[in-house]
Amino acid sequence: MWTLALMLLAAACLFSLGVALWVICSHFFIVHIPAAIGHPVKLRVLHCIFQLLVTWTHHGICSRLCKESDSVVLAVGYRKLPKYKCPVSIRDCLAATIHFLRSLHAYGVDPARVVVCGDSLGGGLATVVCQKLVNTPDLPRIRAQILIYAILQVLDFQTPSFQQRKNIPMLCWSFTWYCLYHYLDISSSWQEVIMKGAHLPAKVWEKYRKWLGPENIPERFKSGYQQKPHEPVNEAAYLELSVVLDVMCSPLIAEDDIVSQLPEACIVSCEYDTLRDSSLLYKKRLEDLGVPVTWHHVEDGFHGVLNTIDLNFLYFPSSTRILNVLTNFIKGL
């Protein structure tokens, strides 16, 4: 009860403080991280879908990761909504990563210890970047990927976590949909259609059931879950929404020959998160294909909790636990 109350308070305060803190942090608290000889590097993809709040919520996280993991941290501030749609953010992150991999000597970075990381949308972008770089022998290979409550698929909105947490503060279904239709540049009128699974034909659901089916999710995460059949396809919706099948939007459904070549992963999921099951499904896919996975599930965590790590009275202890997981994972590589 206290967790939900604090989450509501945090949601209200974050927006009201956003503009002022963004201006202050942009002008006074941005520092340059010096190159370090032989250090590992952590390429962090900032998560926030909208431009507001990005700088001040992530500066503290990146700075602490740099210090506590003894790494060079490069934060990629890709172009965001509402001005820029998909796939602009993906192209920005991929271009920044390739440029950095070709310039490691300038930062004194060990080419064998590059880690790509992201949270929320940034986690999905980090996943796409890793997949795109699988068959690039001219570039240093990514050593590991860190995915924090990542957005990994935008096909299925009937998973247990969506049923259980669709009204949770910070990332309720209405806000999730608002971000989604802006990001994919689709009509907002399809909300009910996509919620009922009528945006894709039966043959598509059958094809991806092996990766998206609820049987892939551990039973302990299915409390109160009621599996519902997808409604017959709405052809008009399918014409516009077939973009959700693009692996740049849904990296969870990438082919086995790509996923099997991905680097070691650290996956963080949170209980109070509509996106929780995407992390669980991707974890299983990686493990089934022999990719080593370190998984940390935060029982009292919610989507975006890591951003509270430097928010004083809005701080949640689970944010520090997540940071410790990331730090220990990086040090152990």
**Cβ-Cβ contacts under 8 Å for 87 (sequence gap 6 or more):** 248
- Reported in sequence order, the residue ranges of the chain that DSSP labels E, i.e. its strands, are 39-45, 72-76, 109-119, 144-148, 264-272, 293-302
Q: Which of 250, 278, 303, 319 is catalytic?
A: 303
CA distance readout (Å), 270 to 82, 96, 214, 292, 297 = 26, 28, 18, 20, 6
How far apart, in whole angstroms, are the C-alpha atoms of residue 103 and residue 105?
5
Q: Which of 58, 273, 277, 319 is catalytic?
A: 273
Residue 273 annotated in active site: yes
Q: Which of 120, 161, 278, 318 is catalytic?
A: 120
CA distance readout (Å), 297 to 8, 161, 184, 301 = 22, 14, 29, 8
Residue 303 annotated in active site: yes
Place of tokens 């976590």: 161
Question: Is residue 120 a contact partner of residue 149, using CB atoms and an 8 Å limit?
Answer: yes
Angle subtended at Cα 210 by Cα 205 and Cα 142, rounded to the nearest 5 degrees:
110
CA 237 vs. chain centroid, Å, equals 26
Q: For residue 280, which of 221, 227, 323, 325 has the smallest C-alpha distance?
A: 221
DSSP state of 188: G
Angle subtended by helix axes 54-69 and 2-28, to nearest 10: 90
Residue 230 annotated in active site: no
How far apart, in whole angstroms, are the C-alpha atoms of residue 111 and residue 38?
9
Question: Is residue 230 a contact partner of residue 196, using CB atoms and an 8 Å limit?
Answer: yes
Omega before 82 within 30 of 0, i.e. cis: yes
Active-site positions read: 120, 273, 303
